[in-house]
Structures are given as C-alpha cells and as structure tokens.
Amino acid sequence: MRDSDAAARLDQTAELEQRLIAEFLERRGHTLASARSLPEAEAHALLKEASIYASSRLTEVEVRAQYVHDIHDASQQK
C-alpha cells in the first residue's frame, strides 16, 4: 500500500468518525457546538459517550471490511 493510500484511508476514517459522533449527538438532541456549551462535566460525559459510540461503530465497519476482504481472497485462491 502506498503512503497516499494510507493517508486517504485515515482521512476517510476520521471523516466517518466525525459523522458518527455528529449522529450520536443529534440523536441526543445536540450538535457539537451545543454539546460544548453544556456545563463542563455534562459536556465531557456526552462527548465521551459519543466517542465510545463512534469507536464501536468504526470497529464494526473495519471487521466487516476485513471479512469481505477475506471472502474475496478465499474465492481468488480456488
């Protein structure tokens, strides 16, 4: 894999992470700006939950992508 491919993948992952955090906050009735305007402890807790949500969803996406890759490789070896 070329460095530019790896950088593009990281950019895509970061963008997806940001979108997942925004999705989580929207479901809770917030935007990133409104979450940051909450009292510090409340904002921290909400953003921590959003980060955990995004991380778990990214892991799910990565596992599925690896599964598809493995299936593809197995079919190529036959």
- Confidence tier at 78 by pLDDT (50, 70, 90): low
pLDDT(73) > 90: no
- What's the rounded mean pLDDT across residues 50-74? 91
Residue 20 makes CB contacts below 8 A (sequence gap 6+) with 53, 54, 57, 58
pLDDT averaged over every residue in the chain: 90
Are 43 and 30 in contact by the 8 Å Cβ rule? The answer is no
What pLDDT does 2 receive? 67
15-44 per-position pLDDT tens digit: 999 999 999 999 999 999 999 999 999 999
pLDDT(63) > 80: yes
